[in-house]
């Protein structure tokens, strides 16, 4: 029996609506059907990710080059291919607890690559750009133009805004400074200036976290509105209003 | 059979490979070597993902056999296998694979995000009940101000919030602090990476 694609699409809409309702039911109370849906979600996500990994990486990077090699039309040099096969076999040794140790050098390789990329990414992608941005906080050109033009209010505003940004950055960093002077048998004491700056940093961090919280809340509200609109459309479809 | 590969060998691999990749980021002459190593790492990451897939299968298969909430495990295994076979067979763009994605994965994922809106609202409301201190007040006032400044409220725009206070909080107060946090996070990442490359941290076991 051939199921038409249109019919399957319609079934999919109702199925999606049912899953949406069950998932939203968690807002009222945790329930067994919601847990079943969560297990379905984990299973589907894992199956999808595994299939994509096989199709997009394992087949083109390992299986097809082996088949090409066996067919006498190599696409990779034999040493590279041998290393790929060897590393994969060693990693597969992790499947059994008895041979799991054989896979350690391969996980070490992955860790080494990850650490190097993390260092490169942190320095080139965050540290240098953020420090450059922090160093260029004071808009000197605009300040000079405003000052020379007699706009003293504007020039003061530029200084104030730059100082605020700099204070926020420095005090946030000070919050994570835990160095303290040793005082013999007494508890170590942090420098009073750093302590005050750290307290101010905590206030700025509260503001920053509230900003991030607001962003996530707005995204979540967007998803809620989209789901409610979807359920309304499905209800209209069921009632024949569309 | 006693198979033992001592940690120093694994540490040597991690340090050597890490240094090669790090040096290749600085010197373009090593780009080919870096790309080769990155291709191995990509392949190994995919194989590691498949190992995770196999482990998940094994754990839930055992749970099903031992009767530990077998229905949940059955649903998970069925979803996992059906999705894997169909997506592998017809590709992620295939009709049935897309149907699974759009009719199962997407609605659950979006609905979980929607539930998050309710959870976050409740969490924000409970914050002040749990902790009555200056930081909670700052957090909640900022949240309130940013929500009011995010757009018109019931069709009425509040210019004091949308044009003055909101942008000021976003562009000055939180940007400065977020910059500090980002610098702190990247210094932490740098330190963790260096500890691995120096062999002080060995998270690869052994």
pLDDT in tens, A185-195: 788 788 888 88
Give the integer Cα–Cα distance in Å for A213 and A211: 5
Q: What is the pLDDT of residue A151?
A: 79
Q: What is the mean pLDDT of residues A203-225?
A: 94
Q: What is the dihedral of CA A174, A180, A181, A187, to 10 degrees?
A: 140
Give the integer Cα–Cα distance in Å for A33 and A22: 7
A160 or B71: which leads in pLDDT: B71
Tell me if A242 is assigned to some domain: yes
Residues of A in contact with B18 (CB under 8 A): 111-113, 115-116
Chain centroid to Cα B144, Å, comes to 28
Number of domains comprising chain A:
1
Q: Low-confidence residues of chain B, pLDDT below 50?
A: 1-3
Of all residues in chain A, the percent with pLDDT exceeding 70 is 98
CB contact A63 to B (< 8 Å): no
Tell me if A176 is assigned to some domain: yes
A182 or A203: which leads in pLDDT: A203
Which residues on adjacent β-strands are paired with residue A189? A181
Tell me if A186 is assigned to some domain: yes
Tell me if A213 is assigned to some domain: yes
A42 min Cα distance to partner chain B (Å): 7
- B182 contacts A220? CB cut-off 8 A: no
Of all residues in chain A, the percent with pLDDT exceeding 90 is 60
Q: Which domain holds residue A201?
A: 136-242
A44 or A156: which leads in pLDDT: A44
| Phi, psi angle pair for A33, to nearest 5° | -65, -40
- A108 contacts B204? CB cut-off 8 A: yes
Tell me if A165 is assigned to some domain: yes
pLDDT in tens, A72-84: 888 888 999 999 9
Q: What is the pLDDT of residue B7?
A: 62
- pLDDT band of residue A242 (cuts 50, 70, 90) is low
CB contact B83 to A (< 8 Å): yes
Q: What is the pLDDT of residue B101?
A: 93
Beta-carbon contacts of B40 under 8 Å, excluding residues fewer than 6 positions away, are: A83, A84, A87, A109
Q: What is the pLDDT of residue A1?
A: 52
Tell me if A96 is assigned to some domain: no
- pLDDT band of residue A157 (cuts 50, 70, 90) is confident
Nearest to A61 by CA among B46, B206, B142, B116: B46
Q: How many CB atoms lie within 10 A of CB A150?
A: 9
Does the pLDDT value for residue A110 go beyond 70?
yes
């Amino acid at each position: 029996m051939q199921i038409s694609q249109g019919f399957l699409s319609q079934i999919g809409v109702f199925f999606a609506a049912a899953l949406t309702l069950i998932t939203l039911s968690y807002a009222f109370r945790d329930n067994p059907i919601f847990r079943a849906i969560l297990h379905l979600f984990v299973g589907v996500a894992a199956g999808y990710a595994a299939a994509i990994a096989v199709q997009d990486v394992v087949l083109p990077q390992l299986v097809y080059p082996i088949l090409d090699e066996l067919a006498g039309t190599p696409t990779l040099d034999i040493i590279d291919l041998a290393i790929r096969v060897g590393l994969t076999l060693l990693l597969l040794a992790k499947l059994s607890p008895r041979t799991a140790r054989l896979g350690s050098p391969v996980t070490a390789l992955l860790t080494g690559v990850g650490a190097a990329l993390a260092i490169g990414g942190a320095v080139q992608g965050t540290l240098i750009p953020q420090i450059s941005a922090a160093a260029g906080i004071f808009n000197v050109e605009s300040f000079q133009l405003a000052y020379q033009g007699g706009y003293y209010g504007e020039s003061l505003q530029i200084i104030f805004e730059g100082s605020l940004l700099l204070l926020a950055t420095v005090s946030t960093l000070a919050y994570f400074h835990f160095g303290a002077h040793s005082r013999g048998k007494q508890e170590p004491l942090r420098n009073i200036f750093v302590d005050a700056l750290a307290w101010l940093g905590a206030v700025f961090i509260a503001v920053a976290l509230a900003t991030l919280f607001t962003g996530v809340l707005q995204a979540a509200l967007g998803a809620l509105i989209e789901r409610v609109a979807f359920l309304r459309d499905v209800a209209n479809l069921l009632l024949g209003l569309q | 059979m006693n198979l033992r590969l001592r940690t120093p060998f694994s540490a040597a691999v991690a340090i050597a490979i890490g240094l090669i990749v790090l040096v290749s980021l600085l010197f373009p002459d090593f780009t080919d070597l870096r790309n080769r190593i990155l291709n191995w790492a990509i392949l190994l990451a995919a194989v590691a993902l498949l190992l995770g897939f196999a482990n998940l299968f094994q754990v839930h298969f055992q749970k099903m056999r031992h009767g530990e909430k077998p229905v949940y495990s059955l649903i998970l295994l069925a979803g996992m296998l059906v999705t894997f076979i169909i997506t592998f067979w017809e590709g992620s763009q295939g009709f049935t694979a897309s149907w699974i994605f759009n009719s199962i994965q997407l609605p659950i994922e979006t609905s979980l995000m929607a539930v998050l809106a309710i959870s976050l609202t409740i969490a924000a409301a409970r914050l002040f009940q749990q902790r009555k201190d200056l930081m909670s007040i700052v957090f909640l006032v900022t949240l309130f101000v940013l929500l009011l400044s995010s757009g018109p409220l019931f069709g009425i725009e509040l210019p004091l919030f949308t044009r003055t206070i909101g942008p000021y909080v976003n562009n000055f107060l939180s940007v400065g602090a977020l910059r500090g946090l980002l610098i702190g996070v990247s210094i932490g990442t740098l330190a963790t990476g260096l500890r691995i490359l120096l062999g002080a941290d060995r998270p690869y076991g052994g």
